[in-house]
Structure 1
Amino acid sequence: MDTSMSKLLNKLVKEQDGDKVSAGKIIARFEDRGFGPLLLIPSLIALLPTGAIPGVPTFCGITLFLICVQAAMGRESPWLPNKLTQQQIETDKLESAVEKAKPKVQRVEKLLRPRMTQLSQTPMKNVIAGYCAIAALCMIPLEALPFAVALPAFALCITALGMTNRDGVFIGVGSVLQLGTLYLVLTTIGVM
């Protein structure tokens, strides 16, 4: 199975034939590829300029949370509510986001290789998915702060790339960055 994210992103764009594509169609395209790609797409949407649109970080955070919780419970393919799967994304915006992300993804892919693979296998995969669910929920309150959603989105992107390519080093780095997200949320709400 080809797990190159740049090739998967290219294929996703090439397969679109209408003006809009549903979130459910995007997810269905990636569900056989594992937890990583399903985590990457909403993370990229939140990380790129589309994440500055009001409501997008919350939508991405909820979507990511639902995917992560199901992965943490050991499900092979995700279930999402119809309200989320029927959300429409304009094809040109999807193409633009993919085009902006591709050069960065291709550079990162040069660093990826299977190592410390136990982090991408059960039971560690389930624990990491639960940890990612917490980072995804952190996106909701961070939407109120300009550009603050970039930290959890970036951390989840790094983790997703690690999961997709079975690279435990990337999974570890993403997990450490997610700790920064938790710290940011706790200081924002005044707990720390």
Structure 2
Amino acid sequence: MTHHEPTHALSDVLDELEQSVEGEEILVEDVVEALGRRSFAALMLAFSLVSTSPASAIPGITAVVAALVFVLVAQMIVGRKSVWLPRFVTRRRLSTKTLCKGIRWLRKPVRFVERFLKPRLTWLFHRPWMWLPLTLVMGLTLFMPFMEIVPTSGSIASAIIALFAASLLTRDGVLALISLALLSILPVGIYLWL
């Protein structure tokens, strides 16, 4: 039996995000450049984590993250090789202070989760299996702007998207199935709440 080294894929995304920060504000475009235009999963993880962290208290951040994730997922479904984002999204500015606060807050939970992640059930990351979670994530992003009305629901939605993005980065099919189950349950939970 081969021993799997613990993955640092998620911490690496936080490191790259932190290294891209300079000045008082950072453009979304700078974050995209720092993480790489080919890394759909890393970008999805980074933006959904920002929306899960205390930075989600910024009005409108959930809607911006929803738009970003929607555009990323749409491109993954059609099989684009590199990320394209509309200018109204890439020109958005984020407060570096809030972003860094969010990154620091995420360090511990990310490090804890990483210990359990490893490549397994990797067939789930091939077509047509991939289309189901991607379609569910896409559907979820359409509801996220309205979730700002219900406290913490936007953060919960972002956390589920972050889990799915983490499963993509680490090729962990078990985590993908967990996020898929949560993606299926969340709309029901919100409906019952309302």
Answer yes or no: same fold by TM over 0.5: yes
TM-score normalised per structure 1? 0.88
Q: 1:32-181 to 2 correspondence within 5 Å?
A: 32=37, 34-181=39-186
Aligned equivalents of 1:108 and 1:124: distance in 2? 24
Q: Letter of the aligned partner of 2:180 in structure 1?
A: S
Matched, 1:8 2:23: no
| Structure 1 segments unaligned to the other structure (5+ residues) | none
Q: For each residue in 1:37-95, what CA deviation from the matched residue of structure 2 results, as whole angstroms up to 9, or x when unmatched? A: 12112211221122122211111111111111111111122211101001111222221
Contact 1:155 1:177 in 2 (8 A): yes
Deviation at 1:130, TM superposition (A): 2.2
Q: Go from structure 1 to structure 2 and tell me whether the alpha carbon gap of 1:129 and 1:89 turns closer, same or farther (over 3 Å shift).
A: same
Count of equivalent residues: 188
Q: Go from structure 1 to structure 2 and tell me whether the alpha carbon gap of 1:16 and 1:50 turns closer, same or farther (over 3 Å shift).
A: closer
Q: Go from structure 1 to structure 2 and tell me whether the alpha carbon gap of 1:31 and 1:14 turns closer, same or farther (over 3 Å shift).
A: closer
Contact 2:117 2:172 in 1 (8 A): yes
Aligned equivalents of 1:166 and 1:124: distance in 2? 13
Q: Letter of the aligned partner of 1:183 in structure 2?
A: V
Q: Letter of the aligned partner of 1:57 in structure 2?
A: T
Contact 1:37 1:164 in 2 (8 A): yes
Aligned equivalents of 1:41 and 1:119: distance in 2? 22
Aligned equivalents of 1:36 and 1:135: distance in 2? 17
Deviation at 1:159, TM superposition (A): 0.7
Q: Letter of the aligned partner of 2:58 in structure 1?
A: I
Aligned equivalents of 2:15 and 2:158: distance in 1? 21
Deviation at 1:145, TM superposition (A): 0.8
Aligned residue for 2:24?
Answer: 19
Deviation at 1:185, TM superposition (A): 4.2
Q: Letter of the aligned partner of 2:83 in structure 1?
A: P
Q: Which moved more, 1:159-168 or 1:49-58?
A: 49-58
TM-score normalised per structure 2? 0.87
Q: For each residue in 1:6-32, what CA deviation from the matched residue of structure 2 results, as whole angstroms up to 9, or x when unmatched? A: 122113212333322111121222245
Q: For each residue in 1:113-152, what CA deviation from the matched residue of structure 2 results, as whole angstroms up to 9, or x when unmatched? A: 0000112233333442222111222212211111111221
Q: Letter of the aligned partner of 2:74 in structure 1?
A: V
Deviation at 1:3, TM superposition (A): 6.1
